[in-house]
Amino acid sequence: MPRESLAARRSRTLALIERLRSTYPDAHCELDYSNPLELLVATILSAQCSDKQVNLVTAELFRRYRSAADYAAAPLPDLENALRRLGLFRNKARHIQAACQALVNHHDGRVPDSMDALVRLDGVGRKTANVVLGNAFHQASGIVVDTHVARLARRLSLSNASQPEAIEHDLSALVPRQHWILFSHWLIWHGRRRCAARRPDCPRCELADLCPSSTGPTPDRPPPRPDRTD
């Protein structure tokens, strides 16, 4: 197969955007939150955990801890116990408490709305900062690259990089900025509902004709609407 030119890849990316937009018109962040602090905490907790698992824990967590000062002042064993159902709960408790202590000490208890300030917080990398900036502050600062986005970026031949920041750089060059926030949601929803890591559902995939990795569907049988389960 001849190598795809940059212009052709950009054109295919625009077609993918239109297909994803029509397939997932309701795509959104599936972490439950009502303010920037809750989203920051939930995103830190989501490392190596599903959004469903996180939402089960934060339903009670957010009732108990309502401000950065609450997390900062909590006895660490109590905070760890509140997160015990999640993997790496001890590390996550320490990260959340340290981040919230920094919010209290340097940001009047508020989550900052800049990339530089966010990535200085304990437990916050570029992915978490992009989640918070895009969803809580509606700032298109970058493209969130989680495991779903990384996997689909490679399968769709939008990036051959392995590191998240390199993948984000490749995607940012292809995706118009006005789509940066939703593009990650679209790929995450597609990854959860159709393009699984071990058994991608190529025969029913809505992107099959635009995906170089696809093994289907057949031309005479268009795919159905996507499943709505996670």
> Considering 51, 92, 127, 170, which one is annotated as catalytic?
127
- How many other C-beta atoms can be found within 10 angstroms of the C-beta atom of residue 191? 20
In the residue annotation, 146 being an active-site residue is answered as: yes
> Considering 146, 201, 220, 227, which one is annotated as catalytic?
146
User: Which residue has tokens 């939930």?
Assistant: 42
DSSP state of 88: T
Cα torsion angle, 13, 14, 17, 23, sign: negative
Candidates 188, 201, 98, 104; CA nearest to 144 is 188
Q: Do the beta carbons of residue 36 and residue 111 sit within 8 Å? A: yes
Residue 126 tokens, joined: 């570029």
Residue 144 tokens, joined: 């969130």
The DSSP line for 145-167 is --HHHHHHHHHTTS----SHHHH
User: Which residue has tokens 């769709």?
Assistant: 156
Q: How far apart are CA 161 and CA 205, in angstroms?
A: 24
27: phi > 0 → left, psi -120 to 50 → alpha, else beta; which?
beta
The DSSP line for 66-105 is -SHHHHHHS-HHHHHHHTTTSTTHHHHHHHHHHHHHHHHH
Residue 151 tokens, joined: 């996997």
Catalytic residues, by residue number, are 127, 146
